[in-house]
Structure 1
Amino acid sequence: MTIGERLKSVRGETSQDEAAKLLGVHKNTLGKYERGERVPDAEFLVVMLETFPEIDPAWLLTGEGAKLREKTGYRSAEGVSLKSVAIQKEGLGPDEYVKVARYDVHASAGAGALVANEQIVDYIQFKPDWIKTALGASAKNLALISVKGDSMEPTLSDGDIVMVDTSDKQFEANAIYVLQNWGSLLVKRIQRKIDGTVVIKSDNQAYEPETVRGDLVEQLHVVGRVVWYGRRG
């Protein structure tokens, strides 16, 4: 069962229109979440758990375990800060979730956003097993930053949050990477050709691709590979 199917299961007989109003999103947005056309962001999931406090957070995020919390001792997500996006489960130890820092920088899906600073603004918590099995990554190497611009539409939109594996700097076929270029961060799709050249592409066809000669590829400063993204409703 996908996370979209789990979201649909949670609302049950409640109409999509009514559920969208309860969750503070447009009906079309909820529909895209349920059909798997968009990935629900952490803020939406917190609101979901506030609205349906009987739902087990681990099940909602990963599909593992029981759908409903134990009737004895479960607590709602009331009081959880939307800024900290801390999804918690009663009885879990401190090592059951890992925090991934979100930094006050933007990776531009466009001409390039300046890296003003690297201040941590908040954290999003994830299950370590999901990070390991679904992403094939280690939490200590992950960072969250925001996307700015439209050159990676429809894959990434302005305001999306991307998770970057800073240990993965080797170009894979057609993967998305964050690059640093003269004080700016760029998020682009990378394609390596057989002759050693690298093509830096935008998913938005309105933007022309750029080609880097093989002898200049080593000068590219690769921050890391994008392994996950979240989108606001």
Structure 2
Amino acid sequence: MDTLGKRIAKARIAKGLSQGQLAELLHWSGQSRVGNYERDQREPTLEDINRIASIVGVSAKELIFGPDANDNQTVIQVTSSNDSYVYVAMTKPRQTQKGIDLQPISLPPLAIAKDQKAGLNEHTRGLAALSAPIDDGMSPYISPGDVIVVDTSDTEPEDGGIYLIALNGKCLIRKLYTSADSIILRSFTHPDKAILEHDRSQLQIMGKVAYRAG
């Protein structure tokens, strides 16, 4: 199985570096940290991935997703079980041929205290952090510029759930409700909008909002 650790090791070897040499270039004391990462015994933070990538000459995205990173639409957060925080990779919506994709960007990850959000821990997968879209639909609870965390694995609308969606290519945050023949988009500042079944292709549910950091 191709893992993050194996990709780090492969990139290091291709660069002609030993674990000790890579650790020295990273100004780490000893090679044990590199070894733990490569054996997948410890998950690196996004900051460490960015630093390793710059030295071994590949992109951080390729280390995280593999050589087919440009075709991979799965968002992965980088977390650590060694402290009291979960680190979620920052992303940005980008238009692709298949719709809007949340793609990692070169910013420090969002750190969320585990005791601040019940059920959120280093085993949680499918999270992506991003700046809330420029839209006042959920103000004052979610405002443009707030950082939100979206669970991209949760795309089945639950009545009253708050979701990041794309409607005709524009990102919005809305409460969703379902009826027999439509999905209803509800906000605090705009009239309800019903997306009928035959118009369903206009709507992309990107994930449920799991956390907001103002």
Higher RCO, 1 or 2 (CA under 8 Å, sep at least 6)? 1
